[in-house]
Structure 1
Amino acid sequence: MRLHLLEHDPDDFSKTNITTWAAKKGYKISKTDVFKMEALPSLSNFDWLMIMGGAQHAWEEDAHPWLVNEKQFIKRVLADGKIVLGICFGAQLLGEALGGQVLANKHREIGWYSVFLSNEGKKSFLFKNVPETFLTFHWHSDHFSLPAGCTQLAFSKPSPNQAFIHNELPFVGLQFHPEYTLDIVRSFSRQYGHEWLPGPFVAGKEAVLAKTEKIPETYWLMETLLDNMVQIKQFRESVKSKKGP
């Protein structure tokens, strides 16, 4: 399996829960720093696209001209039927590419907050072996409407779409950050925590750091979701092959 990541920020993401999972599986990882205007890969060079988070807003094409090419590229990948995972800003770009709308959220959501599975999420293979309520890290100020042909799987108190899946193809969007390790959260808290002015769903720097020390680990959630995505892809391909052309 060949994974390709679209990165939007200069922070070091070389050691995330995704890279750990890929190394354990023996999967190859490549990436494009789209914010540097790097060339996007040929579709034949990867099997799974992961659209990662970023500090940008999906509508800022004038401020970030590379967004235009990235959005076109994502649509080509979707048309090709590859596995696609969008996380945070990446989920917003995926949702928009599928016909949804990205909007400013009423409340920013930054810190360790609970995500709740919807009734469909409780039945979804994506969340197999995941509790109906789980704690995870959030850092976003925008949200997206549910695209047509997709199912809402999870929500949080300020954000109605924390996870969705396409009804026919292996496209998944996650608004939360299961890829963050505890070390990443600590690093971001120290580097950017001064910007986290406490609010209804924004924990301040010291609160985030204190809570982080009480979290056992975060790898289990990312591992479970990625393993389930692989099986969803395999299951849908087997059904398709049985139906024939």
Structure 2
Amino acid sequence: MRAHYLQHAEFEGLGMIEHWLHSKGYEISCSRMYAGDPLPALDEFDVLIIMGGPMSANDEAQLPWLHSEKAFIRAALTADKVILGICLGAQLIAASLGQAVYPNREREIGWFPVRGSTHQNGAAFHFPPRLPVLHWHGETFDLPHGAVLLASSEVCRNQAFQLGRSVIGLQFHLEANRQLLDQFVTAEAASLVPSEWVQSAEHILQVDDSTLASTTDLLDRLLHYLTEGK
């Protein structure tokens, strides 16, 4: 099996996703969108992972490659690829399907809980009733038509969604490990002006091992769900 990921910033790599892919024997390739790497042909991968990034999905004037990336994501959706979008990646899935991306009512940065939807389809992936996860976003999006809402937080309704059997978008970062946390707080230090929904770098880095283990376990289950039978 072959996994390809779209990277939008040097500091936002695969994190724990890479560990899972290696453990399952995947070949891994990457397009560094910020560096001008080419996009692959659709027959060159089975799983597409769209990472986060500090830019907006609306920044096509400043970053023309976003237009090409959205067209590529639409083509991958039409080709029925397994797709996981994370933070900006989830927003790009929504934008590629014609949905709006816009500022959330609060910037949400740090470890805050998401709650699994109590009204989700029985066939969809199930999130736990409550789990602290890493957030790092200032924007949100409208759900794509036909999407199932999987999880919400107190200040952002559309935290996770599913399209069909093989596409999931997450507004948050289940892939976070301690190395990724260090990279985030260093690269995005200017964003960390503490407020009710923005934690300090110290607070973010002091997350306990059990929380990281819980988010990694959920990521493992989600990736298994997406790739099962593929």
TM-score for the superposition, normalised by structure 2: 0.92
- Whole-Å Cα distance in 2 between the matches of residues 44 and 8 of structure 1? 22
Q: State the structure with more CA Rg.
A: 1
Alpha carbons of 1:103 and 1:12: their partners in 2 closer, same or farther (altered >3 Å)? Answer: closer
How far does the alpha carbon of each residue in 1:20-46 deviate from its partner, in whole angstroms, 9 at most, with x for none?
001111111111001112111011100
**Cα RMSD over matched residues?**
1.9
Tell me which residue corresponds to 2:31.
32
Tell me which residue corresponds to 1:200.
196
Native 8 Å contact 2:150 2:162 kept in 1:
yes
Tell me which residue corresponds to 2:61.
62
- Whole-Å Cα distance in 2 between the matches of residues 125 and 205 of structure 1? 35
22-31 vs 179-188, which moves further: 179-188
SS state at 1:126 partner: coil
Alpha carbons of 1:188 and 1:124: their partners in 2 closer, same or farther (altered >3 Å)? Answer: same
Alpha carbons of 1:51 and 1:191: their partners in 2 closer, same or farther (altered >3 Å)? Answer: closer
Name the structure with the higher helix share: 1
**Structure 2 residue 152 is matched with structure 1 residue 155:** yes
- Which amino acid letter does the alignment assign opposite residue 205 of structure 1? A
Native 8 Å contact 2:12 2:52 kept in 1:
no
Alignment of 1:190-229 (within 5 A): 190-212=186-208, 215-217=211-213, 218-229=215-226
- Whole-Å Cα distance in 2 between the matches of residues 169 and 101 of structure 1? 23
Native 8 Å contact 2:111 2:133 kept in 1:
yes
1:56 deviates by 0.6
Alpha carbons of 1:67 and 1:76: their partners in 2 closer, same or farther (altered >3 Å)? Answer: same
- Whole-Å Cα distance in 2 between the matches of residues 187 and 67 of structure 1? 23
Tell me which residue corresponds to 2:180.
184
- Which amino acid letter does the alignment assign opposite residue 211 of structure 2? I
Tell me which residue corresponds to 1:23.
22
Alpha carbons of 1:214 and 1:194: their partners in 2 closer, same or farther (altered >3 Å)? Answer: farther
Tell me which residue corresponds to 2:3.
3
In structure 1, stretches of 5+ residues that fail to align are 238-245
**Structure 2 residue 92 is matched with structure 1 residue 93:** yes
1:230 deviates by 1.8
Tell me which residue corresponds to 1:164.
161
Native 8 Å contact 1:47 1:82 kept in 2:
yes
Native 8 Å contact 1:198 1:204 kept in 2:
yes
52-61 vs 195-204, which moves further: 195-204
How far does the alpha carbon of each residue in 1:16-74 deviate from its partner, in whole angstroms, 9 at most, with x for none?
11100011111111110011121110111001111110111011101111111111111
- Whole-Å Cα distance in 2 between the matches of residues 38 and 25 of structure 1? 26
Tell me which residue corresponds to 1:42.
41
- Whole-Å Cα distance in 2 between the matches of residues 40 and 135 of structure 1? 34
1:12 deviates by 6.2
- Whole-Å Cα distance in 2 between the matches of residues 67 and 3 of structure 1? 20
Percent identical: 36
199-208 vs 181-190, which moves further: 181-190
40-49 vs 195-204, which moves further: 195-204
1:124 deviates by 4.9
SS state at 2:29 partner: strand
Tell me which residue corresponds to 1:140.
137
What is the aligned length? 229
- Whole-Å Cα distance in 2 between the matches of residues 150 and 215 of structure 1? 28
- Whole-Å Cα distance in 1 between the matches of residues 121 and 129 of structure 2? 7
1:112 deviates by 0.5
- Whole-Å Cα distance in 1 between the matches of residues 9 and 103 of structure 2? 20
